[in-house]
Amino acid sequence: MNEQQFKKLLIEMIRKDCHPEKNKIIDLLRLVSVTFNKTTQFARRGVWNQCEEYIYLSIIPDKLLELKEFEKYITKKCEEIYPISDEYALCGVIYKPGAMLETEDISQEIVFEDIRNQIIDEIRNAKYLIWIAMAWFTDPVLFNELKKKKQQGVTIEIVLDNNEKNKNAEFDIDKEFSPHWITIQSQYKNYMHEKFCVIDLQTVIHGTFNWTKAANFNKEHISIDRNRETAESFANEFIELKKLDLIYQTF
């Protein structure tokens, strides 16, 4: 396991944990540079003939004190995921100031279980905007999460297929968000079948999962991509879908 893989696994372990400030910890860890320091000094603990290894977590000075507030918790998580080796034993996690990371934090997570809660985590992490294109959106739990983000000042726009299930949801989405209703009409009635959510133009959630209560009992999957280029591609598609609504309104 290299440093980048270790960092990704550390973040995912914390994401699935129940720490009350896990979102803040994850935001800090995205700024962290991980370095493994393997020494030739024999470790005083562990298997005979193992050498000491240290993990350095470096972050910009302005954020170092914030990171160290969670030092015990993060160190424990590092110890949990540290790979077993006959050669090295983990002898410490060291927190130190470092330079701003020059590369974008890019990752992809494929999720098959507990999908709704994963989506909720991403919604709660949103800081600026949430753009949703959904074939079917009838889940009041996700609807209420969006209402909370709207109350926090986050800009929310929604594109929906113009169908009876969406129109007859148990909540009034028109009153709260004024969605763009999309009608795909040719010789037959077709669906706007997209299922994606763009967050802060940095993260995109996409896959087979509609935002319905029934979807929680289906065999579904989503991909959570933290990639500016991918998020912008989906954002461009979102804008094209909005144009369909505007075109339809002119007839």
Q: What is the 3-state secondary structure (H, E, C) of the chain?
A: CCHHHHHHHHHHHHHCCCCCCHHHHHHHHCCCEEEEEEEEEECCCCCCCCEEEEEEEEECHHHHHHHHCCHHHHHHHHHHHCCCCCCEEEEEEEEEECCCCCCCCCEEEEECCCHHHHHHHHHHHCCCEEEEEECCECCHHHHHHHHHHHHCCCEEEEEEECCHHHHCCCCCHHHHHCCEEECEECCCEECCCCEEEEECCCEEEEECCCECCHHHHCCCCEEEEECHHHHHHHHHHHHHHHHHHHHHHCC
What band does 1 get if pLDDT is binned at 50, 70 and 90? confident
On whether both 139 and 158 belong to a single domain, the answer is yes
What is the rounded distance in angstroms from the CA atom of residue 102 to the CA atom of residue 173? 41
Note the pLDDT of residue 189. Answer: 61
Q: Mean pLDDT, the chain, as a whole number?
A: 90
Q: Which two tokens stand for residue 47?
A: 């298997």
On whether both 121 and 236 belong to a single domain, the answer is yes
Is residue 102 in some structural domain?
no
Boundary (domain end) residue, out of 32, 64, 97? 97
pLDDT 10s digits, 182-234: 887 655 567 789 999 999 999 999 999 999 999 999 999 999 999 888 999 99
Note the pLDDT of residue 188. Answer: 55
On whether both 118 and 185 belong to a single domain, the answer is yes
On whether both 61 and 135 belong to a single domain, the answer is no
Question: How many structural domains comprise the chain?
Answer: 2
Q: Is the confidence at residue 147, as pLDDT, over 80?
A: yes
Note the pLDDT of residue 77. Answer: 97
On whether both 128 and 233 belong to a single domain, the answer is yes
Note the pLDDT of residue 201. Answer: 93
On whether both 93 and 111 belong to a single domain, the answer is no
Nearest to 159 by CA among 136, 143, 141: 136
On whether both 13 and 90 belong to a single domain, the answer is yes
Q: Is the confidence at residue 129, as pLDDT, over 90?
A: yes
Which residue in this structure is represented by tokens 């009041």?
140
Boundary (domain end) residue, out of 64, 97, 130? 97
On whether both 217 and 129 belong to a single domain, the answer is yes
Is residue 182 in some structural domain?
yes
On whether both 115 and 216 belong to a single domain, the answer is yes
Note the pLDDT of residue 191. Answer: 76
What is the rounded distance in angstroms from the CA atom of residue 42 to the CA atom of residue 45? 9
Q: Which two tokens stand for residue 132?
A: 């949703």
Q: Which domain holds residue 120?
A: 107-249
On whether both 141 and 193 belong to a single domain, the answer is yes
Q: Is the confidence at residue 41, as pLDDT, over 90?
A: no
Is residue 22 in some structural domain?
yes
Boundary (domain end) residue, out of 49, 66, 97? 97
Model pTM score: 0.62
Strand partners, 5: none
On whether both 154 and 227 belong to a single domain, the answer is yes
Comparison of pLDDT for 107 and 193, the residue scoring more: 193
What band does 251 get if pLDDT is binned at 50, 70 and 90? very low
On whether both 141 and 245 belong to a single domain, the answer is yes
